[in-house]
């Protein structure tokens, strides 16, 4: 585990199951709520195979076709466990070869601006991908990062008392076929891609983690540009 000398601590957690990572996020969020002076965190890791879905009554993205029969939960056909969690968005898959980033950031110090935070996450990943020669972009009205019409990174965040959790999933390498069991992020006919697939080169998740850490530490001041002073009573 490494921590940078800055007001953002970055930690590489290696391979971690989803439930343990979720519990760690919740612990840090609770501590930051209790003591707003605590530094912001960025957890970087890989997950064991898992599906997640956000806060939505529409479960259709859990079906490969996007159509679930009345009374069907939509998870029985999934080859890996499913977690319903407190983020926005539809179903997605996480697993080996995918770099997960969980920023736990107090947005009260960033202008109370969730929209700006989401765009900051996208831009961070775009800059990381550019370092590997991959021309990625944002797409209007679609959160995430894209290479042309192919999705290379998904973003889904939760916010409690203006403190963020969950975050991004960057497809680095490995098997993308688990996405075929769902409608990723609820987007019909979306093509998922990875750094490996786009370039034909071999990538290490740990190497990409180091690039994300470097860019995040460089770019955190841009998120802080709208910093607000917290009242003493918070």
Q: Catalytic residues, which ones?
A: 185
Q: Give the three-class secondary structure for 11.
A: strand
Cβ(128)–Cβ(208) under 8 Å?
yes
Looking at residue 161, the DSSP 8-state letter turns out to be T
Distance CA 150, CA 188 (A): 12
Sign for the CA dihedral angle at 225, 226, 229, 234 comes to negative
Distance CA 90, CA 197 (A): 24
Radius of gyration of the chain (CA): 17
């Amino acid at each position: 585990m490494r921590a940078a000398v800055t007001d953002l601590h970055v930690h590489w957690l290696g391979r971690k199951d989803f439930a343990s990572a979720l519990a760690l996020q919740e612990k840090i969020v609770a501590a930051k709520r209790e003591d707003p002076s605590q530094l912001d965190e960025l957890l970087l890791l890989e997950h064991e195979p898992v599906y997640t879905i956000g806060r939505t009554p529409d479960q259709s993205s859990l079906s490969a076709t996007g159509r679930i029969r009345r009374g069907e939960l939509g998870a029985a056909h999934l080859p890996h466990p499913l977690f319903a969690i407190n983020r926005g968005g539809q179903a997605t898959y996480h697993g080996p070869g995918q770099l997960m980033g969980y920023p736990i950031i107090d947005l009260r110090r960033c202008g109370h601006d969730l929209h700006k935070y989401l765009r900051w996450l996208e831009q961070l990943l775009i800059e990381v991908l550019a370092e590997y020669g991959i021309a990625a972009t944002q797409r209007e009205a679609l959160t995430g990062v894209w290479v042309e019409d192919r999705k290379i990174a998904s973003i889904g965040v939760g916010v409690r008392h203006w403190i963020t959790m969950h975050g991004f999933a960057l497809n680095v390498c490995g098997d993308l076929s688990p996405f075929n069991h769902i409608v990723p992020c609820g987007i019909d006919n979306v093509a998922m891609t990875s750094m490996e697939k786009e370039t034909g080169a071999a990538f290490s998740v740990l190497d990409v983690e180091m690039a994300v850490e470097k860019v995040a530490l460089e770019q955190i001041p841009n998120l802080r540009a709208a910093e607000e002073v917290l009242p003493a009573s918070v």
